[in-house]
Chains A and B, each alone.
Chain A
Amino acid sequence: MTQTKGAVAFRNVRKAFGSFTAIPDLTLDIEPGKLVTLLGPSGCGKTTTLRMLAGLESPTDGQILIGGDDVTRLPADRRDVSMVFQSYALFPHMRVGQNVAYGLEAGGMKSAEARRRAEEALELVGLSGLAGRLPAELSGGQQQRVAVARALVLEPQVLLLDEPLSNLDARLRRKVRTDIRDLQQRIGLTAVYVTHDQEEALAVSDTIVVMKEGKIAQIGTPRELYESPASDFIADFIGEANVVEGRVISVDGDAAQVELGGVTLSLPSRGQLPGPTQISLRSNALKVTTEGTGIKGTIASSAYLGDHVEYEIDGPLGRIFVVDDESDTPLPSGTAVALEVRPRGVALIPGGA
């Protein structure tokens, strides 16, 4: 067991709400200093997991450890974590400075000292000088940063973020997520981040934990998840891949010869044996040509999106979704095409078939 500050561990945690079991059996280790994202569709148990870590829900069974200590029965106010809420949950009747100093004062710090530290924390998130404002007098992005400052100022072992960007508009979201990532790496803080947005998860995480129906579907770095999905669910959820049927012809060590829609490819075998298999096919893994060789198909529909063209193509793989970012002139429906397979963006799905 790690005794390091900032490490988090779930040991066989089960959580039931009445007769409904949200989390059947969760075991998960989080290394100190990493930003770990809990990713999954709504209702997958990611927020419940985060709230159990915060102490806002009690697990029905199992153990939760923070920094090596068992905190399973410890109430939220005595855990060394702090949380950024989806709604920010800034206290509307307190000034920004009071909001940030709130946790320090609750811990018994003298109010002058707490004010000073709050000012430092605000400086850290780039809001110095706004301590005297009311939360309602700040923009959405500023409120978000106050929420972060309020959580960080306590120097918790673990920072929890519950969909912290969902109330921001798309443009701001990109900037704030970079800011959060920078800050986390600068301080070297363990952070657990909940989101349902796979792009956000890919952008900020050291490790992504994809959850489905209360279970962990796959853990890995963003690259592992994208390039080697463990199941058709992951392939579809991370980056909307086409999951198609293929066949492993032969395996030689780590390499496999795979038949896919009439063409033969060489792919990492990922433990697959010869026979039918499922293959994840990214939308940009196929090059659409009218005269080349490759998988035959017919364009069912096309859409022009400025810098790229999206196609739905019928063929031996069924209907698949393809993005062509080399051409900006859509081919009309009914055109016969050949799809050249690029080496990146294609992967065998282990256990599929």
Chain B
Amino acid sequence: MTSRDNRRLDLILAAGVFALIALPWYRIRSGFFSFEWLEDFISSEKLWPGLVQGLTGRWQLWPVLALLAVAVLLRFTQAPGKRGGALIAVGAAGLTWMLAEGLAIGLRGWNWGLLEAAFGDVAGQPAFGAGAIVLGTLFALMIAFGAAERGALKGDAFVLGAITLLVLLVATFVFYPLVSMFTGAFQEFDGSFTSEGVRRNIVDPKIWSLACFWGGNCGVAWRTFFLAICTATGTTLLGLVFALVATRTGFRFKKSLRLLTVLPIITPPFVVGLALTMLLGRSGSLTQVIEAATGWELGRWLYGLTGIWIAQMLSFTPISFLVLIGVVDGISPSMEEASQTLRSDRWRTFRKVSLPLMAPGLANAFLIGFIESMADFGNPLVLGGSGGVLSTEIFFAVVGAQNDPSRAAVLAMILLFFTLSAFLAQRLWLSGRNYATVTGKGDGGRHIRLPRRVGLPVITVAVAWAAFTITVYAMILFGGFVKIWGLDHSLTLDHYSKAFGVGWENGILWTGVAWDSFWTTMEIALIAAPLTAAVGLLTAWLIVRQRFPGRGVFEFALMMSFAIPGTVIGISYIMAFNLPPLQMTGTAAILIACFVFRNMPVGVRGGVAAMAQLDGSLDEASLTLGASSGRTMRKVILPLMRPAILAALVYSFVRAITSISAVIFLVSAKYNMATAYIVGLVENGEYGIAIAYSSVLILVMITVIGGFQLLVGERRIRRGEEKVANSGFSSKEARA
């Protein structure tokens, strides 16, 4: 009975001792996984493990050594039932101490002058390395195992361990960066406190001016807000139009309309902006046609809020469409039938019953559109011209000539304030107001057709917009084969050969300029995808199946991380992970961490939906049959969730490829991602190659998604029943 308690404790204690004597405590510049450090492990002081570092004068490691020793002592002197509380205390103390000393002692000694005054000089230390990270993890597990031995959560060590690690990870990769960003706003370059930067920026008329109401220029915060309202309104209306056409008309091509919903998943976010430039820009093809026909000078009208608005409408209407299909479809037909039997014609029924029932769903679509528009980075970057929005301003505050981190932080906080408010509104105000519920009782009846006075205009608008969308996407594919858009329309393969050229000289030579970033992208996306799926589904399982204190807060915090715009994540990661205790900038790890924690909510949501379809008694049956939680997960839950797992895998893979907003802050010369590279091409005016590269990316993703659909489409779980979770993953928030 107690042997299991001892065995798992033995395991982590052994790992802890191993990490202290055999793994470098501090971060290695060349990277841990290259294993070059093995050669100089003995000779180079920087590579020494924790034990040696401690013995050679780094007193800040003594508590760590002591606490591990206490844990070992507990293991051999106390029975599992008795030592739980002590283990928790040791683990918590270990984590707290590592956090404190890591934050307090930087590369050049104390981080804060106050400490230096109190304790005198101390030798600086590099960031945490393999040894430190292993030990931190083990301290966290010690808390979990201690709690398990005390019988918390029915003594389930697997569940407790999973919760502890997830909390630790989310704290490290979501909340720590945000806090760093916030404190970063109040710091001088040397780390001392100053509120000067914040004070200067927070009242900056460039941010808050309302001058546009009397003929001047409004501040960037208001411009962004205004744009988001317009985009949200527009996409909600258009989305509703499409949803109505798809569900309530006899329109012949409504099946193919649904293909639209895939577009935002596979399109890198700036591509729409790029295509618009080619169509409506100064030398765009449509512009030329109009100018030739009328003789007007159209000029640069596209660059600015109007252009961004059009691009966002194109990008986000499919998302709103997807949300609203569910809403419009979910209204019970019997409501409408009841209305009809109560002497109301179709128009009155639509006005008095259908629309009011859809209202909460419409509000939801509006808020999603608002958040998407606020967070959008790709389109404003391409089309913003001189007047940007918050997300691009943040970017230029860091990378441009300004280099004003406190301004970036202030702007990021404003952006975060807007999106979080919308998210909270969506969560707190809208939850529980949804009438579009599926009751499980078979509702007889069919949805009534739209009244004619609504139906005709709706179909017209939908067809027109769909045609526009198709034109824009055709532009993308076609543009890659044209020499110089707007000037020389002769067909060429130059762009493709320049980007993806392959030579042969003693083996394949990847001569194209795009290959480098392409392979990096694939590699990082392939590493990030399974991690994202694993973390997301594990979280979903904990949320759905386990009852633990703070579960509601845990879920809320996770979902909230979705409302954090990518730009904010990017800037906060730079501020958090550029210096010890965790130094990750310029590595592949920071990109992977960014993708995992940015896309995890999607995995969580998919997992929660799939898990909700699995009867909870299945897990319980497995437990009462003597299988542990881990075994239950492996043998029962995972096999039944395979479609959801595949969906999460593909989704996170695709999102890792298309995302730009956070990525652009985190790429480095060594690890450049495709999207960041393409944006670079656009900035240099090399539209041809940019477009060619984008087309290839879209093609890759269509292949991946198509292959995945085939894979999932073929398997069935029960006789005569549909697949447990179907393959269609939500593109609700398909944007970076």
Contact of B620 (CB < 8 Å), options: A81, A83, A90, A92: A83
Residues of B within 8 A of A102 (CB): 622, 625, 627, 635
Bound Cα distance from A211 to B579, whole angstroms: 63
Whether the Cβ atoms of A106 and B719 lie closer than 8 Å is no
Residues of B within 8 A of A134 (CB): 718-719
Bound Cα distance from A91 to B624, whole angstroms: 13
Give the total number of A-B pairs whose CB atoms are below 8 A apart.
98
Residues of A within 8 A of B720 (CB): 136
Cβ distance A122 to chain B, nearest Cβ, rounded Å? 15
Contact of B617 (CB < 8 Å), options: A85, A92, A136: A85
Contact of B154 (CB < 8 Å), options: A55, A81, A83: A55
Whether the Cβ atoms of B624 and A54 lie closer than 8 Å is yes
Question: Is A172 an interface residue when CB atoms closer than 8 A count as contact?
Answer: no
Interface residue tally for chain A (C-beta within 8 Å)? 35
A91-B636, A93-B640, A134-B718 as given contacts; A81 in contact with B151, CB under 8 Å:
no
Residues of B within 8 A of A92 (CB): 640, 717-718
Whether the Cβ atoms of A154 and B718 lie closer than 8 Å is no
Whether the Cβ atoms of A160 and B155 lie closer than 8 Å is no
Residues of A within 8 A of B717 (CB): 92-93
Whether the Cβ atoms of B154 and A76 lie closer than 8 Å is yes
Bound Cα distance from A134 to B621, whole angstroms: 17
Residues of A within 8 A of B153 (CB): 58
Whether the Cβ atoms of B639 and A93 lie closer than 8 Å is yes
Whether the Cβ atoms of A106 and B627 lie closer than 8 Å is yes
Complex interface residues of chain B between 149 and 163 (CB less than 8 A to chain A): 151, 153-156
Annotate B415-445 by CB proximity to A: 1 below 8 A, 0 otherwise: 0000000000000000000000000000000
Bound Cα distance from A134 to B628, whole angstroms: 24
Whether the Cβ atoms of A77 and B721 lie closer than 8 Å is no
In this complex, what residue of B is CB-closest to A51?
B620
Whether the Cβ atoms of B623 and A56 lie closer than 8 Å is yes
Contact of B719 (CB < 8 Å), options: A81, A90, A93, A136: A136
Question: Is A292 an interface residue when CB atoms closer than 8 A count as contact?
Answer: no
Bound Cα distance from A160 to B621, whole angstroms: 11
Question: Is A296 an interface residue when CB atoms closer than 8 A count as contact?
Answer: no
Bound Cα distance from A283 to B537, whole angstroms: 57
- Is the contact region of chain A dominated by helix, strand, or loop, or is it mixed? loop
Contact of B628 (CB < 8 Å), options: A55, A77, A82, A160: A77
Residues of B within 8 A of A73 (CB): 81, 151, 155
Question: Is A182 an interface residue when CB atoms closer than 8 A count as contact?
Answer: no
Annotate A56-100 by CB proximity to B: 1 below 8 A, 0 otherwise: 111000000000000011111111011101110111110000000
Bound Cα distance from A75 to B621, whole angstroms: 13
Annotate A28-60 by CB proximity to B: 1 below 8 A, 0 otherwise: 000000000000000000000000001111100
Residues of A within 8 A of B626 (CB): 77-78, 82, 103, 106-107, 154
Question: Is B489 an interface residue when CB atoms closer than 8 A count as contact?
Answer: no
Bound Cα distance from A82 to B151, whole angstroms: 21
Bound Cα distance from A292 to B81, whole angstroms: 73
Residues of A within 8 A of B628 (CB): 77, 106
Whether the Cβ atoms of B627 and A77 lie closer than 8 Å is yes
Question: Is B618 an interface residue when CB atoms closer than 8 A count as contact?
Answer: yes
Cβ distance A142 to chain B, nearest Cβ, rounded Å? 14
Residues of B within 8 A of A86 (CB): 617
Annotate A96-133 by CB proximity to B: 1 below 8 A, 0 otherwise: 00000011001100000000000000000000000000
In this complex, what residue of B is CB-closest to A106?
B627
Bound Cα distance from A58 to B639, whole angstroms: 28
Bound Cα distance from A55 to B1, whole angstroms: 15
Bound Cα distance from A184 to B407, whole angstroms: 75
Whether the Cβ atoms of A75 and B623 lie closer than 8 Å is yes
Contact of B621 (CB < 8 Å), options: A78, A89, A107: A89
Residues of A within 8 A of B629 (CB): 77
Cβ distance B393 to chain A, nearest Cβ, rounded Å? 47
Whether the Cβ atoms of A160 and B718 lie closer than 8 Å is no
Whether the Cβ atoms of A91 and B623 lie closer than 8 Å is no
Bound Cα distance from A82 to B718, whole angstroms: 26
Question: Is A150 an interface residue when CB atoms closer than 8 A count as contact?
Answer: yes
Annotate B269-283 by CB proximity to A: 1 below 8 A, 0 otherwise: 000000000000000
Residues of B within 8 A of A89 (CB): 615, 617-618, 620-621
In this complex, what residue of B is CB-closest to A103?
B625
A87-B617, A92-B717, A106-B631 as given contacts; A74 in contact with B624, CB under 8 Å:
no
Contact of B151 (CB < 8 Å), options: A58, A87, A150: A58
Residues of B within 8 A of A91 (CB): 618, 621-622, 635-636, 640
Q: Which of B617, B623, B626, B632 has the most CB of A within 10 A?
A: B626
A86-B617, A89-B620, A102-B635 as given contacts; A74 in contact with B155, CB under 8 Å:
yes
Question: Is A137 an interface residue when CB atoms closer than 8 A count as contact?
Answer: yes
Bound Cα distance from A93 to B723, whole angstroms: 12
Cβ distance B162 to chain A, nearest Cβ, rounded Å? 15
Residues of A within 8 A of B718 (CB): 92, 134, 136
Q: Can you list 30 residue pairs at the A/B interface with Cβ under 8 Å?
A: A56-B154, A56-B624, A58-B151, A58-B153, A73-B81, A73-B155, A74-B1, A74-B155, A75-B156, A75-B623, A76-B154, A76-B620, A76-B623, A77-B624, A78-B1, A79-B624, A81-B624, A83-B621, A85-B621, A87-B615, A91-B618, A91-B621, A93-B639, A93-B640, A102-B625, A106-B622, A106-B627, A136-B719, A150-B625, A160-B624
Assuming A77-B625, A90-B621, A92-B640, what are 6 further A-B pairs, CB within 8 angstroms? A76-B620, A77-B623, A79-B624, A85-B621, A103-B626, A106-B628
Residues of B within 8 A of A (CB): 1, 4, 81, 151, 153-156, 615, 617-618, 620-629, 631-632, 635-636, 639-640, 717-721
